[in-house]
Amino acid sequence: MSTTPDKSNLLHCFQHWERYTPAAVYLTQPFPDGRVVDYTWREVGDQARRMASYLKSLNLPAGSNIGLLGKNSAHWIMADLAIWMAGHVTVPMYPTLNADGANYTIEHSGMRLLFLGKMDGVTDTWNDLQRGIPPQLPLVGMPLSPRKDVPQWLDIIKQHEPLQDFAERDVDALATIVYTSGSTGKPKGVMHSFRSMTAGLHGVAEMWGIGPDDRMLSYLPLAHVAERAAVESSSLYFGFRVYFADRLETFQQDLKRARPTLFFSVPRLWTKFYLAINEKLPPARQRILFAMPILGRLVKKKILAEMGLDHVRYALTGAAPLPSNIIEWYRRLGLELLEVYGMSENFGNSHACRPGEVRIGYVGSAAPGVSCRIAANGELEVKSPSQMLGYYKMPDKTAEDVTPDGYFRTGDRGELDDKGRLRITGRVKELFKTSKGKYVAPVPIENELSNHPKVEVVCVTGPTQPQPFALFMLSPDAQKDLQDGKVDRIALSKELETLLDQVNAQLEDHEHVDYAVVVKDQWTMENGFLTPTMKIKRNVLEERYLALADRWREQKSKVIWEQ
């Protein structure tokens, strides 16, 4: 094998690092008992190859679909490698699925075996999800699995020798079926080849110059394309080290252990960091300190160190817009947030911001090798070298979503500036018509309303209503302050009324938000209101709240607190 890795296939990439940097640490896993275990490329290879031998011994049909369920862990990646080495296809499952969702994925994919990993039934949906696993489906319990009554990973690898030579996998062969988290309807099984899983990484190398000395923390769901591309595929391709987070309570400690040089997150977490620092060091005090040349630099460095981000070279944000004032705040700290945009159907390889070329509110320009265009109805269409093979068992849906000349219809409405940078203006199907017959695009309004420190998530809706209305989910900190009496509900209502007035002043009359409802429940992935990338599931929210709209409108209040 050449010292220059063959990067057409993630298995080839892995073999390269396993052979040429065997003693280098690849994966770092914290455990609930406080242990932190490092796995070298050699150790990862040994365990994955032994598990691949076990899979081969089962004599499953070539290319069988094998499930992978659990929170992010070192053994999640090892299991993925073992599935590929044995000649099979990985079907990742979200640890926040309900029983029906899990059963649908298992049955629709024709799953032959399921690897069950890190789940606890407290911070995930295991207690409900397990009811959706057919009793006849063979299971393998990975470390940290809730099931100890099934064959265990550590026992299996003691009983099997490493698979030395695994079958060559064609770059265009099916590698994985990723079931979309889906903000509407049944999940679709997005089929990706080995080629599509690496095609975007050539462009990443060109844009950002990533290499083996980089580090990342893995904590967003590996079952989602974003983390699979940004962390798993990238680490195999570039050979860098991956750290894992244990749980929410240890996240800051896990982040400081990793001191990542590359950090990918979603707006919700970037906002939490921002609010946490502002609580410790008020903005007015920050402005004074930042204005002092020497002291300002020290304070900024200390703030980044406090967040565990002082070594970050590239900070990426995606999945939803981030308010411009927060982006500017990070810039003042010396961290240029680079927005990225992609979809499950193109393995996240669509658009990205280049350093020094960021335009706030835009998700960057087309990645190398990607073409895009805006259709007559304003819909963004993308042709990517990472384009899916199609939807599993859904040829009609594949034909509907891919144009005859090979462009994927994203469902997003977009605009391009004179430099080819893309701005997402909403979803084509999210436009709704009020009872006055006027169309409203909710996303731009939501983006403006979410620019408030006490508002965590916003949904603007109102089909069948004369005017749109907004649903506000308060941040956990704001809810706690209300409960502790640190924040007065009347004063907060006035703040939110002012926010509505400010946003409405920028809108056309038919877009004016009539009132805002502060909802009493938290929207989470576990209860089905948010996708794994923390986007709102609009159809679920509307099903839950629209029936109450007439009663709320009759109250004639600007801010209503759900009872």
Indicate the domain borders of the chain.
10-198, 243-428, 431-561
For the packed helices 41-57 and 10-20, what is the interaxial angle rounded to 10 degrees?
130
Q: What is the pLDDT of residues 324-359, one digit of tens each?
A: 888 889 988 999 899 999 999 999 999 999 988 989
Structure tokens at 558: 């600007």
Query: For residue 61, how many other CB atoms are within 10 A of its CB?
Result: 9
Q: What is the pLDDT of residues 36-76, one digit of tens each?
A: 999 999 999 999 999 999 999 999 999 999 999 999 999 99
Given a cut of 50, whether residue 1 has pLDDT beyond it is no
Given a cut of 70, whether residue 181 has pLDDT beyond it is no
Given a cut of 80, whether residue 396 has pLDDT beyond it is yes
Band of the pLDDT at 185, cuts 50, 70, 90? low
The pLDDT score that the predictor gives to residue 342 is 94
Q: What is the mean pLDDT of the chain?
A: 91
For the chain, helix (H) and strand (E) counts, in that order, are 20, 26
Give the SS3 label for residue 279.
helix
Q: Kindly tell me the burial class for residue 136, based on how many C-beta atoms sit within 10 Å of its own C-beta (0-12, 13-18, 19 or more).
A: exposed
The pLDDT score that the predictor gives to residue 40 is 98
**CB–CB of 418/376 below 8 Å?**
no
Query: For residue 306, how many other CB atoms are within 10 A of its CB?
Result: 16
Instruction: Give the burial string for 214-248 (b: 16+ CB within 10 Å, else e).
Output: bbbbbbbbbbbbbbbbbbbbbbbbbbbbbbbbbee
Given a cut of 70, whether residue 2 has pLDDT beyond it is no
Does domain 10-198 fall under CATH 3.40.50.2300? My reply is no
**CB–CB of 456/474 below 8 Å?**
yes
Given a cut of 80, whether residue 319 has pLDDT beyond it is no
Tell me what the mean pLDDT of segment 536-551 comes to: 88
Given a cut of 70, whether residue 371 has pLDDT beyond it is yes
Given a cut of 90, whether residue 375 has pLDDT beyond it is yes
For domain 243-428, the CATH class is alpha beta
Residue type, 239: G
The pLDDT score that the predictor gives to residue 182 is 53
CATH architecture of the domain 431-561 equals: 2-Layer Sandwich (3.30)
The pLDDT score that the predictor gives to residue 384 is 96
Q: Which residue has the higher pLDDT, 418 or 2?
A: 418
Instruction: Give the burial string for 312-329 (b: 16+ CB within 10 Å, else e).
Output: bebbbbbbbbbbeebbeb
- For the ranges 96-105, 445-454, 521-530, the maximum mean pLDDT occurs at 96-105
The pLDDT score that the predictor gives to residue 4 is 59
Contacts of 474 (CB under 8 A, 6+ apart): 454, 455, 456, 482, 518
Q: What is the pLDDT of residues 426-468, one digit of tens each?
A: 778 777 888 888 878 888 898 889 878 788 889 999 987 899 9
Comparing 10-198 with 431-561, is the CATH topology the same?
no
Band of the pLDDT at 248, cuts 50, 70, 90? confident
Q: What's the CA gap between 115 and 128, in Å, rounded?
A: 18
Q: What is the pLDDT of residues 137-177, one digit of tens each?
A: 999 999 999 999 999 999 999 999 999 988 888 999 999 99
Q: DSSP letter for 282, please.
A: -
Tell me what the mean pLDDT of segment 287-294 comes to: 90
